[in-house]
Amino acid sequence: MRAMKFKPRYLLFMLPALGLYVLFFIYPFIQTAISSFTRWNGITAPVFIGVANYTQLFHDSVLMSGIVRILIWAALAVVIKVGLGLVFAAILRNRPWGYKFFTSVFFFPVVVSSSAMSLVFTLAYDNNIGIVNHFLKAVGLGFLQHAWLADPTTAFYAAIAVPIYQDIGFFMVIFLAALQDIPDEYYEAARLDGANPVQIFFRLTVPLSLGSIRVCVVLAVTTAFKTFDYIFLLTAGGPGNATQVPATWMYLETFQSFNYGYGDAIAMLIFVLSSLASGLVLAWGALGGRPSRRGPELPRTATRRVAEAIPEGAIA
Amino acid sequence: MTSGTYAGRRPRAVTRGRRSITITKIRHNPLILVGYLVLIINSAGCLIPILWTLSNSFRSNTQIFSVFSLIPEQFNFGNFESIVDNTNLVQAFFNSLVISLCSLALLLICVLPAAFLFARFTFRFSRVFYGFFLLSIFVPSIVLLQAVYELFANLSLLNVQYSIVLAYTAAQIPFCLFLLTAYMRELPVEVEEAAIIDGASVWNIFRRITVPMTRNGIVVILILSFISIWNDYIYALVFLPEPQRQTLTVALANVKGEYTVSYGLLSAAAIMAIVPVFVFYLFTKNFLMSGMSSGAVKG
Amino acid sequence: MRKRRMAMAAAAALAVIATAAACGASNGSNGSGSVTLTFATNQITSENNGTTPVFKQLISEFEKQNPGVHIQLEEAQSTALQPLIQLAFASRNVPDIFNFWRPQPAFNMNNYIASGELGDLTSLAQTPSVKNEFASSSWATATVNGKVWGLPLTNYSVPLVVNKAVFTEAGLPLPTTWQLLVSDVPKLKAKGFIPWTVSTESTDQSDDRLLDYVLDREIGNQAALNLFEGKGSFTSPQVEKALSGYFSISAGYGPPDAAALDDNAAIAKYYNTGKSAMILTNNVYLTTVSASAAKTSEVIPFPVIPGGAETTPAMEKDLTTLMYASTAALANPTTGPLVKKFLTMATSMQTEQSLADNDVLAAATNVKTDPAKAGQLFTQIQSTTSAEPEDKWLGNARTPSQQQSFYPIMAEQWSGSFSVSSFANQLESMFKQ
């Protein structure tokens, strides 16, 4: 509803945002894009080389493995952050005993800074004194002990475990809000129909919170694509190049190898990948994503009939 | 299907009481125990690493190396004293705080009016402008590091105190604008319409009606932006190399680089970075939770 | 609603105040008539050893002698100075004074010189008091295209440090010959020790030291440099023989978490605790060796390989840190003389001597090492370094881009991921012209 008539002077409302945004975001972005078509060492004049940087992207094996890694990261982020977040929210949905305690504790890691958490986990992953290895030994899984951040096979997963673990609480709180909008009657009706909790989760909770799920998936994916700090602080891309992601590789190419043009091409690639991934998720939403078809069909007609027959608030 | 509008919200008190756990309930549905097990395991996962670090911060290096323990042998503040005396962590903490708060203030000044404009008005090219702001949501800020640094150098901003606030705010604008506009569009317009009939100016409507009603949306974007700015490492590393102007992230990373196997000192440094945030969190978590759970992120 | 409005007003006021303060408090200026010189450095850390106390003393001395002049520090940690200086040159905002590595392409210095922003110090270098302090080889390194770009400050070398106590405990002789080295290393591991205190963290540089020495010994320093310039072949029989020898004492013989530790951490964690036997790294990290470990440590020459090109032990060493200035600062009538003064003070005999007293290899030739002040380990390092002839670091021949690809390969090689031939082929494809 537009109750107010527009007057041109209202454009001033967006002036501060526009000014700041164009100057400190758009202008550097255009610079970066232009520079990606040059060979430049940052000091002497750039040399225009057309799309050579972009073709080199595909011959860069470290970059290609980096892209595979962020895809794995995005997948894990979605499953764990969104999945576990939704599960925890579902468990805490009707505010059982201890609700306040659990939500506070789960959300706390979100506010801890990335460098503090990286420091905590650098210590926790230490192969001699670290709590991770001690815990494994204590529960009898001592053979699983590793030098987590130094072993090429485990370094990447150990590194991304930290930001993923830290963010679960954030998504949980979002879903808690979304789940509040699902009336209790639906759950009562489903229980009356004899659905078990797993069915309720997948056939009722998930479909009715798809809007939030979609936004959270986009958030999780874009975060996975662009996060630089955790990898840089935990492993700096090492051991060898075992944890390089495009963001850290871009940093190294620009600031250690002084291939500015190529670094900018990688930057453009990160941008395109993020936009594509997010665009795909949002398009899936716009086209009406349907709930998954797993498990036995819950007789939805029965549920709906019961739900409609019960006036709001009649079941306490 | 109810959505996030005020009109459709049921009063909470009626159906949302605290449910207590009784033996009969557990017998009815043993999965309650499984649910609690999951919750307890995750709570342990959230708390124990930090508690362990806290414990180590009171111990000496030799103690840490010899025996694993969640409870320190003594409460010796020596590590903390070393950190305060020999590093710039305390100064860095305040730098981070000032920079973050200034960025958030500037962000509100920029984004609130702009969101109001896009939520309440359509005008020629309004969609173009809105899309223009939004197309950069997927640009990770690291992409622009080199170009922004050069821009700052050209504008002679590099030595201006807290100039990095401008870069941080600009990076937060797209997503916050998106969230706030979506939130404002959901707000009921009856109050505003009444004010118009009473002859209020657009600016007054914005200031006295819309902004206060957007309180929860503001909380969400403040939290998201604060976390993003507080955590930033690479911009702070490059723009603020001077020891007295460093932010907490950079200072912590430096401490880690310098004291790599002084585990007691490192633990103390980590705790010093976490405790203030923890205290802040204790006081504001209810406010944060209610703001986030009001449904600003509905999709 | 009231509260929110007040909070927002407060926030707005804060923003206004902050921006006003920002515009006001620029450059750390303290009133009229005062001069600020920016000094970017990695020589000042929060530990109180090595170069840190020397530089802190230097700065306070300088400010005392020149009232009204303030040195504005821009600190970076060790190799983090490189991106800092890089950005500075890229944005034409070079610090007035800074220390850096040698003016070679390996450090992108050729581009900095080409930009014109790097100050020409030739005239300052001709001053007799400055010129006579340093050996002609140091000046040769500091000179590019006939002009002197930096004043020498410190040297570095890569001594072979062994912990005699560990060898005694393992019942093994010290590796004074190549045969002994090749036989000792596997036996050390078999007895539960870690032979090499090496770090393979990608930003660090000790994982190529052993390879450098073996190549130097086997084919000679110049031939090894040619290899990395692409003028030789890694797959030639002689080089492959050197590489097999190298592999037999390296792959798998470092710490298990070598990739997560830098040199200081590796030394503190393994060498100081008596778990590892040898260190082969830049002497600047050897200040981390604890007093008790230093007591049982000894510097021995890296053995000569029988049949190799080098018949007497040579040591990898070079000028490492130089003091530079920006063209702008030198040209400015106010700051120019001050910068020159600071540079002269920083490289004076007095500073060089106090560097040596703090276990740093000073570049000046007539520096006396006082065994009372300098550590016992450092005295050995100093004497071995001056006694042996020089081998240049093989990284001098590598471009920054090649460095970035090379070190991860070294890290993987240390963890045992390669065979000799695949390693040789990788290097061949990377360096061959």
Q: Both C85 and C203 in a single domain?
A: no
Query: In chain C, pLDDT over 70 holds for what percent of residues?
Result: 91
Q: Are residues C408 and A238, on separate chains, in Cβ contact within 8 Å?
A: yes
Is residue A79 included in any domain, yes or no? yes
Whole-number Å distance between alpha carbons of C36 and C30: 9
Which structural domain, as residue segments, surrounds residue C65? Answer: 36-156+318-376
Q: What is the pLDDT of residues C282-324, one digit of tens each?
A: 998 898 898 899 999 999 999 999 999 999 999 999 999 999 9
Is residue C381 included in any domain, yes or no? no
Domain boundaries, chain B: 20-76, 82-293
Q: Are residues C408 and A253, on separate chains, in Cβ contact within 8 Å?
A: no
Interface probe, candidates C91, C197, C276, C326, chain B, greatest B C-beta count within 10 A: C91
Q: Both C239 and C117 in a single domain?
A: no
Q: Are residues A126 and C257, on separate chains, in Cβ contact within 8 Å?
A: yes
Is residue A278 included in any domain, yes or no? no
Q: Are residues C202 and A147, on separate chains, in Cβ contact within 8 Å?
A: no
What CATH class does B82-293 carry? mainly alpha
Per the structure, the count of domains in chain A is 1
Q: Both C307 and C347 in a single domain?
A: no
Interface probe, candidates C202, C205, C407, C417, chain A, greatest A C-beta count within 10 A: C202
Q: What is the pLDDT of residues B28-39, one digit of tens each?
A: 667 778 888 889
Confidence label for A141 from pLDDT (cuts 50, 70 and 90): confident
Model confidence at C325: pLDDT above 90? yes
The answer to whether B68 touches B282, Cβ cutoff 8 Å, is no
Average pLDDT over every residue of C154-177:
94
Average pLDDT over every residue of A120-148:
87
Chain B stretch 232-261, residues whose beta carbon is closer than 8 A to a beta carbon of chain A: 232-234, 248-250, 252-253, 256
C16 touches chain A (CB under 8 A): no
Q: Both C198 and C303 in a single domain?
A: yes
Q: Both C128 and C223 in a single domain?
A: no
Lookup result for tokens 């320190």: B72
Of A283-297, A302-316, B206-220, C10-24, give the range with the top mean pLDDT: B206-220
Residue C8, pLDDT score: 53
Question: Which residues from A are below 8 Å from C114, CB to CB?
Answer: 43-44
Q: Are residues A176 and B293, on separate chains, in Cβ contact within 8 Å?
A: yes
Q: Are residues A229 and B49, on separate chains, in Cβ contact within 8 Å?
A: no
Q: Both C214 and C313 in a single domain?
A: yes
Q: Are residues A256 and C202, on separate chains, in Cβ contact within 8 Å?
A: no
Q: What is the pLDDT of residues A17-37, one digit of tens each?
A: 999 999 998 899 999 999 999
Whole-number Å distance between alpha carbons of C128 and C113: 25
Model confidence at A296: pLDDT above 80? no
B19 touches chain A (CB under 8 A): yes
HEC secondary structure over chain B: CCCCCCCCCCCHHHHCCCECCCHHHHHHCCHHHHHHHHHHHHHHHHHHHHHHHHHHHCCCHHHHHHCCCCCCCCCCCHHHHHHHHHCCHHHHHHHHHHHHHHHHHHHHHHHHHHHHHHHHCCCCCHHHHHHHHHCCCCCCHHHHHHHHHHHHHHCCCCCECCCHHHHHHHHHHHHHHHHHHHHHHHCCCHHHHHHHHCCCCHHHHHHHHHHHHCHHHHHHHHHHHHHHHHHCCHHHHHHCCCCCCCCHHHHHHHHHHHCCCCHHHHHHHHHHHHHHHHHHHHHHHHHHHHHHHCCCCCC
Q: Are residues B260 and C261, on separate chains, in Cβ contact within 8 Å?
A: yes
Q: What is the pLDDT of residues C108-163, one digit of tens each?
A: 899 999 999 999 999 999 999 899 999 888 999 999 999 999 999 999 999 999 99
Question: Which residues from C are below 8 Å from B215, CB to CB?
Answer: 4
Q: Both C126 and C240 in a single domain?
A: no
Q: Both C143 and C239 in a single domain?
A: no
Residue B28, pLDDT score: 63
Model confidence at A204: pLDDT above 90? no
Question: Which residues from A are below 8 Å from C89, CB to CB?
Answer: 42-43
Is residue C4 included in any domain, yes or no? no
Per the structure, the count of domains in chain C is 2
Nearest-CA distance C86 → chain B (Å): 10
Chain B stretch 101-130, residues whose beta carbon is closer than 8 A to a beta carbon of chain A: 106, 109-111, 113-114, 116-118, 120-123, 129
Supply C33's token pair: 């008539």
A188-192, A209-213, B91-95, C25-29: segment of lowest average pLDDT: C25-29
Q: Both C127 and C229 in a single domain?
A: no
Q: What is the CATH number of the domain that holds C88?
A: 3.40.190.10
A55-59, A124-128, C17-21, C171-175: segment of lowest average pLDDT: C17-21
Q: What is the pLDDT of residues C373-398, one digit of tens each?
A: 777 888 899 889 988 999 999 988 88
Question: Which residues from C are below 8 Å from B106, CB to CB?
Answer: 15, 19
C36 touches chain B (CB under 8 A): no
C417 touches chain A (CB under 8 A): yes
Going by C-beta distance under 8 Å and a sequence separation of 6 or more, which residues neighbour residue C296?
C163, C164, C165
Model confidence at B215: pLDDT above 70? yes
Chain B stretch 48-107, residues whose beta carbon is closer than 8 A to a beta carbon of chain C: 86-88, 98, 101-102, 104-106
Q: Both C297 and C402 in a single domain?
A: yes
Q: What is the CATH number of the domain that holds A145?
A: 1.10.3720.10
Nearest CA in chain C to A237: C202
Chain B stretch 120-159, residues whose beta carbon is closer than 8 A to a beta carbon of chain C: 146, 149-150, 152-154, 158-159
Question: Which residues from A are below 8 Å from B267, CB to CB?
Answer: 123
Q: What is the pLDDT of residues B164-208, one digit of tens each?
A: 999 999 999 988 998 888 888 888 888 888 888 888 888 888 888
Is residue C385 included in any domain, yes or no? no
Question: Which residues from A are below 8 Å from B10, CB to CB?
Answer: 183, 312-313
Confidence label for A118 from pLDDT (cuts 50, 70 and 90): very high
Q: Both C229 and C125 in a single domain?
A: no
Model confidence at A262: pLDDT above 60? yes
Is residue C103 included in any domain, yes or no? yes
Which structural domain, as residue segments, surrounds residue A213? Answer: 68-243
Nearest CA in chain A to C401: A257
Half-sphere exposure of A230 (CA within 13 A, CB side): 29
Residue A291, pLDDT score: 42
Q: Are residues A255 and C415, on separate chains, in Cβ contact within 8 Å?
A: no
